[in-house]
Structure 1
Amino acid sequence: MNHESYLRAVGLPEFADHADAAERGAALVARPPHATVDAETVEDRYVYPVPERGEDGACGVGLADDPYNLAPICGLEYDPERLRDHPNTARLVALDETVRRLAEETNPDWLGVYRRATASDGEAVLVKEAYVGDHSRAEFPLTEAFAERSNNATVGLTGEAVLVDDVADYDGPYYECDDRVRSEFCCPVLAGDDVVGIVDAEAHEPEFFDGERVATVAGACAALADSDLLTPPRVEA
């Protein structure tokens, strides 16, 4: 799918004339490395802190006692030494590099990529696999009920992007994990008719996501959809 068609498919036809920016975004998607990584890199790619959550599921002030570990939701046992040369580790390294490139290009305060996955309870979720910025929630339930309070879940269910120019004036579903955020752009990674993930970006100033930034993120999403970076390899650790 070309960039103009992708922008239209995710509900952003008004940005279809920013083809150059979309192409730049697509070029930022990294390839998995062939080299074996060290144990520290394994830990950095699989394990990250998450905020405490209140009874209503909202982010708390401090960090949870236990960090989040991506290995189980990727179908793996967490063994840093055995994961050093695992293809899923290479996939996560490439996702991290992609997120860092995209953040450098668009300069938001927070940016992350989430993959559609199945949680331990059998329910569909969006799981955060790479990000830059402050610590945030690891999983978003992909349910209609949660979508009533979450852009991420809404985009994951509908396959349509959401652009929030100013959080203060926005009356749609919104999940707050950082009260400094003033604008947000959330774009699906759409493979055919299937949403295989999303890219979410946030900024501390309103109207941050102009046409160039929106198209750049959407271009990266289109390239991610054409890659295998949101498909964990079916190989045992």
Structure 2
Amino acid sequence: MNHESYLRAVGLPEFADVPSDSPKRGASLVARPPHATVTADTVEERYVYPVPELGPDGACGVGLADDPYNLAPVCGLEYDRERLRDHPNTARLVALQDTVDRLAEETEADWLGVYRRATNADGEDVLVKEAYVGDPSRAEFPLTESFAERSNNSTVGLTGEAVLVDDVADYDGPYYECDDSVRSEFCCPILAGEDVVGIVDAEAHEPDFFTEQRVLTIAGTCAGLADSDLLTPPRVEA
């Protein structure tokens, strides 16, 4: 799918005819998995990350949860740092993080992450955060209509349509707050055919941050990710 068609498919037709190389630049930021075996420390960095304590209603609380989040189970793997060093799923996560790092540097977003559509240990359909830059945030967003009433991420994951929030203070749509310093947000689906396989969520500490060029760059990365295998965990036992 070309960039103009992709922008229309994700509900951004007003950006489709903007003359710009930003979509191609965004697609070029998608990294390739490394062939080399990584260190055990790299395994831990890619699979394990801190998350906020969640309140009874699922809202982000104050402070971090006692237990960090581990991606291995949602990837269908047992967490073993040594055995995962040369696993293709680890290489996939390394490439996803490289992509996020490049996109965050390119756009200068304060927070940016890639979520993959997955089934969690409880058999629930969720968006799971597999790579990010910024402060700790929620690991899983339920893909349910009820949660979508309070979350852009879940809404985008269910509808396949991007959401751009110029100013959180003036926004009356669904919004899940984990950092009260966030003032603007752009959430774009990763659309493979008609299927939402994931999303990219980007946030900034100033309003009106997501200019045409930043939106086009992020959407281009989403299109590039859709054409890659980075949102498809390899079916190989650890």
Shorter-chain TM-score above 0.5: yes
Distance in 1 (alpha carbons) for counterparts of 2:121 and 2:133: 26
Worse overlay, 7-16 or 134-143: 7-16
Q: Is the 8 A contact 2:182 2:203 kept in 1?
A: yes
Distance in 2 (alpha carbons) for counterparts of 1:18 and 1:131: 29
Q: Is the 8 A contact 1:4 1:19 kept in 2?
A: no
Give the deviation of 1:14 after TM superposition. 1.1
SS in 2 for 1:213: helix
Distance in 2 (alpha carbons) for counterparts of 1:206 and 1:213: 13
> How many equivalent pairs are there?
237
Worse overlay, 219-228 or 10-19: 10-19
Distance in 2 (alpha carbons) for counterparts of 1:214 and 1:5: 15
Distance in 2 (alpha carbons) for counterparts of 1:47 and 1:119: 15
Match of 2:205 in 1: 204
Q: Is residue 13 of structure 1 aligned with residue 13 of structure 2?
A: yes
TM-score, structure 1 length as denominator? 0.99
Q: Is residue 41 of structure 1 aligned with residue 42 of structure 2?
A: yes
Structure 1 stretches of 4+ with a deviation exceeding 3 A read none
Distance in 1 (alpha carbons) for counterparts of 2:198 and 2:175: 18
Q: Is the 8 A contact 1:33 1:93 kept in 2?
A: yes
Distance in 2 (alpha carbons) for counterparts of 1:59 and 1:19: 38
Give the deviation of 1:18 after TM superposition. 4.4
Distance in 1 (alpha carbons) for counterparts of 2:190 and 2:101: 17
Q: 1:54-133 maps to which residues of 2 (within 5 A)?
A: 54-133=55-134
Distance in 2 (alpha carbons) for counterparts of 1:104 and 1:116: 25
List per-residue Cα deviations over 1:86-121 (Å, max 9, x = no partner): 000000000000000000000010000000000111
Distance in 1 (alpha carbons) for counterparts of 2:59 and 2:205: 19
Give the deviation of 1:19 after TM superposition. 3.9
The amino acid that maps onto 1:5 is: S
SS in 2 for 1:81: coil
List per-residue Cα deviations over 1:15-51 (Å, max 9, x = no partner): 1214410000000000000000000000000000000
Q: Is the 8 A contact 1:183 1:207 kept in 2?
A: yes
Match of 1:159 in 2: 160
The amino acid that maps onto 2:114 is: V
Distance in 2 (alpha carbons) for counterparts of 1:105 and 1:14: 22
Unaligned runs of 5+ in 1: none
List per-residue Cα deviations over 1:117-168 (Å, max 9, x = no partner): 0011111000000000000000000000000000000000000000000000
The amino acid that maps onto 2:28 is: A
SS in 2 for 1:235: coil
Q: Is the 8 A contact 2:20 2:213 kept in 1?
A: no
SS in 1 for 2:11: coil
CA RMSD of aligned residues (A): 0.5
Worse overlay, 145-154 or 6-15: 6-15
Distance in 2 (alpha carbons) for counterparts of 1:55 and 1:93: 33
Q: Is the 8 A contact 1:18 1:211 kept in 2?
A: no
Match of 2:233 in 1: 232
Distance in 2 (alpha carbons) for counterparts of 1:19 and 1:87: 35
